[in-house]
């Protein structure tokens, strides 16, 4: 049972984005998804990253994975979000935010550019009502 939950949790973010990417229109080439990890050295977050890679390979999506080596590094995530909004090279974004309120401006920029996104692990305060391109939150009940 635990392995099944672990597998679902590690693949769920990308599964939720497939519908959003599919709805973003024809492109002719494989959609590119940006996964912004919370902590690339933590085993839990590494498992989510692995699930994203596996699911992307199955669906023939191109996935770029970035993220800090520690959860207190907000700037790496901020820069990745800014790049996603300004470069127009990603069909969708999966974010495992290191903070629940630190990225409101960057998520608003994604939304303005029409880039769908999923938030994983840590809820983000800004997504609930204001953002149209927010697709889903995937997390656990740690309480």
Average pLDDT for 13-29: 56
Strands, E assignment, 1-143: 32-36, 62-66, 92-95, 117-120, 134-138
Average pLDDT for 98-118: 88
Average pLDDT for 6-29: 56
| pLDDT at residue 3, as a whole number | 47
pLDDT digits (tens, 9 = 90+) for 35-45: 999 999 988 88
pTM for the model: 0.80
pLDDT digits (tens, 9 = 90+) for 55-106: 888 878 889 999 999 989 999 999 999 999 999 899 889 899 998 888 888 9
Instruction: Report in angstroms the alpha-carbon separations of 72 from 11, 41, 51.
Output: 25, 13, 23
């Amino acid at each position: 049972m635990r392995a099944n939950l672990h597998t679902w949790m590690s693949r769920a973010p990308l599964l939720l984005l497939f519908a959003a990417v599919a709805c973003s229109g024809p492109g002719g080439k494989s959609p590119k998804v940006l996964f912004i990890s919370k902590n690339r050295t933590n085993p839990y977050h590494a498992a989510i990253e692995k699930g994203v890679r596996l699911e992307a390979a199955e669906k023939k999506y191109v996935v770029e994975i970035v993220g800090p080596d520690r959860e207190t590094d907000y700037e790496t995530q901020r820069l990745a979000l800014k790049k996603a909004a300004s470069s127009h090279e990603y069909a969708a974004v999966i974010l495992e935010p290191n903070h629940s309120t630190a990225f409101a401006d960057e998520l608003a920029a994604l939304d303005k550019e029409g880039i769908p996104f999923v938030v994983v692990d840590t809820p983000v305060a800004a997504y609930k009502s204001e953002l149209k391109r927010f697709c889903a939150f995937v997390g656990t009940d740690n309480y």
